[in-house]
Copies of this chain bind each other. A is one copy, B any other.
Amino acid sequence: MIRLFHVPLSPFCRKVRLSLAEKKLEVELVEERYWERDPDFLRRNPAGKVPVLRIDDMILSESAAICEYIEEKHPTPSLMPNDPEGRFEVRRLVSWFDDKFHHDVTSNLLYERVNRKLTKSGYPDSKNVKAGSKAIKYHLDYMAWLLDRRRWLAGDSMTLADFAAAAHLSSLDYISDVDWNRSAVVKDWYAKIKSRPAFRSLLADHVSGFPPPEHYADLDF
């Protein structure tokens, strides 16, 4: 049985969950309160981070490496284009979201509003929240610019890039931090991806102390 050590709103974990689900690989989810630094957990991943995936008798960490591994072992349905140029663009965008978007937006909004409380490390820093609220606009505009030119973020088919982006946006949507009215193409893109069966498990998440808003699981948001 595949097992994922995760936290529900982690965008890195959500990206892996989406990949597994899209490929119809059943997974047992185990919540891992990484901030408690359980020694068993640190043995599984000395970096002390989630996601950690147990699959094929191996223990894998680092979400980008995990998703490439899943893709190579279970190539259909494909989440990667066939040409090097197409694959480059997918990987560039996955890094864009997991490095730049994460730094500019997710860490300023989600980590301030939710993780600080969960990990009992103080109150949200309003300077950071403000910076995040400003930065998400720029990122949504960048997505709109891409989606004006392409059906999906990296090209004509749905790829890991869409999952990386949707992982971050869905976590932020859980705390009502995404203004879906900013761009019609971005909203359409999210509606498309949100309605996939692979998304269901994410939409069913409930973090205690943080009830999701009604629109979060609504396919007609």
Contacts and interface: CB of A to CB of B under 8 A. Distances in A.
Nearest to A142: B46
A84 interface: yes
Contacts of A61: 92
B62 A64 contact: no
B142 A95 contact: no
Given A47-B96, A96-B47, A64 B84 contact: no
Interface stretch (A34-42, A66-74, A124-132, A188-196): A66-74
A84 B62 contact: no
B64 A88 contact: no
A92 B47 CA distance: 11
| Size class of the A contact interface (CB-based, 8 Å) | 20 to 34
Given A62-B96, A95-B62, A68 B88 contact: yes
A65 B88 contact: yes
Contact of A68 (B47, B87, B99): B87
A72 B91 contact: no
Interface in A20-75: 46-47, 49, 58, 60-62, 64-66, 68-69, 72-73
A47 B100 contact: yes
A65 B142 contact: no
Contacts of A65: 88, 91-92, 94-95
A109 B63 CA distance: 26
Contacts of A96: 47, 62
B64 A95 contact: yes
Nearest to A95: B62
Contact of A84 (B72, B95, B99): B72
23 contacts: A46-B142, A47-B96, A47-B100, A58-B85, A58-B88, A60-B88, A60-B92, A61-B92, A62-B91, A62-B92, A62-B99, A64-B64, A64-B91, A64-B95, A65-B88, A65-B94, A65-B95, A66-B88, A68-B88, A68-B91, A69-B85, A72-B87, A73-B84
